[in-house]
Amino acid sequence: MKKKVFSVLLAAAMLAGCSNGGASTPSAAPADEVKTYKVGVSIYDFNDNFMTLYRNEIEAYFKTLETDDVKYEITMSDGKNDMGEQSNQVDNFITQGMDVIILNLVQTSSADALIDKIVAADIPLVLINREPLAYDENNNTIDEAYEGIINNPTVCYVGADARQSGTFQGEIVAELPDHGDINGDGKVSYIMIEGDPENIDAQYRTEFSIKALTDAGIEVECLDDQIGNWKQENGQTITANALSQFGDKVEVVFCNNDAMALGAYAAIEAAGRKVGEDIYLLGVDALEECVQKVNEGTMTGTVLNDHIGQSHTAVDVAIKALNGEPLDNYYWVDYVKVTK
């Protein structure tokens, strides 16, 4: 990108030089010509509730930043939760000569392949929502300084630290008068409903929600831990099954996101249980329906996954890249606890 900006400046300087002699060089752009930047955005799956809010805000915010001279032409593509499909979209973005790409990966394990081709095409890249991480297989640890990001000055990641959201979920339970131990048997018996296990958001929320409880000295018992892939219908089925298997033993339902919590709520209601009285229910995202539920007491709490802050940061960073400004490797947006 820097190279591109430089050559544009160079061309402009050369034209300025030429125009001393003859006023109307045909290729000289009029000073007031509108500059339209082409922005390619690929979202992992248009069916995802949270990413729908996020992508709508990307488009809306770009619009607010347009001026008489600068316009943004957004191509918004649905990755359909299919890595092959998304990879083709990126190929098309390159062929179409996008000026910047914003990418919500279907699979973070494919990050390298996509980053490599985008960098080779000299297009700046803003990764969002699904953070690629490198795994150190020898130590079985996660490397949070991803080479594809730290080694490429035109690639960055905008997101939120999912550890924080998990911690907030656990803290909400720890801060309840009975600390989540409704039946008073000295431990919090819970079920965990996980998002896509490939996402660090799912891994960290699962781990850190429980860590917040144990760090507070609370004993825990995991009755069930199932994968719901971020989907409402899965949250409902998993909760319905767990409630019929474990009945009153289930004191807390932790969901890695609000969509699954909405499904869990339907199952809780169908089983004749009452949130806040004989069961607790937690989500993440702060979807409008869930914030309403928290306020009316039919959800115990959620955590704001700030799609406004994240989408605006992603767009601001994309524009920095378009202007040839240097990028940081990572841009972080905070989560916020949501309780009554």
Restricting to residues 239-258, which ones interact with ligand GAL according to CB under 6 A?
257
Sole binder of ligand GAL in the list 40, 41, 48, 169 (CB under 6 A): 48
Q: Are β-strands 35-43 and 70-78 bridged in parallel, bridged antiparallel, or unpaired?
A: parallel
| 285 touches ligand GAL (CB under 6 A) | yes
| 199 touches ligand GAL (CB under 6 A) | yes
| 229 touches ligand GAL (CB under 6 A) | no
Least CB distance to ligand GAL at residue 31 (A): 44
Least CB distance to ligand GAL at residue 113 (A): 19
Strands in 124-203 per DSSP E:
125-128, 134-136, 141-143, 155-159, 188-194
CB of 44 or CB of 280, closer to ligand GAL: 44
Continuous H helices in the chain: 2-18, 49-64, 83-95, 111-120, 147-150, 162-174, 200-215, 232-246, 258-270, 288-296, 307-322
Q: Are β-strands 134-136 and 125-128 bridged in parallel, bridged antiparallel, or unpaired?
A: unpaired
Restricting to residues 76-135, which ones interact with ligand GAL according to CB under 6 A?
129-130
Sole binder of ligand GAL in the list 201, 224, 251, 306 (CB under 6 A): 201
Q: 315 CB contacts (<8 Å, ≥6 apart)?
A: 58, 61, 62, 65, 102
Q: How many CB atoms lie within 10 A of CB 118?
A: 25
Sole binder of ligand GAL in the list 284, 315, 317, 321 (CB under 6 A): 284
| 230 touches ligand GAL (CB under 6 A) | yes
Count of all residues that appear for the chain in the document: 340
| 51 touches ligand GAL (CB under 6 A) | yes
What residues line the site for ligand GAL (CB under 6 A)?
48, 50-51, 129-130, 195, 199, 201, 230, 257, 259, 284-285, 305
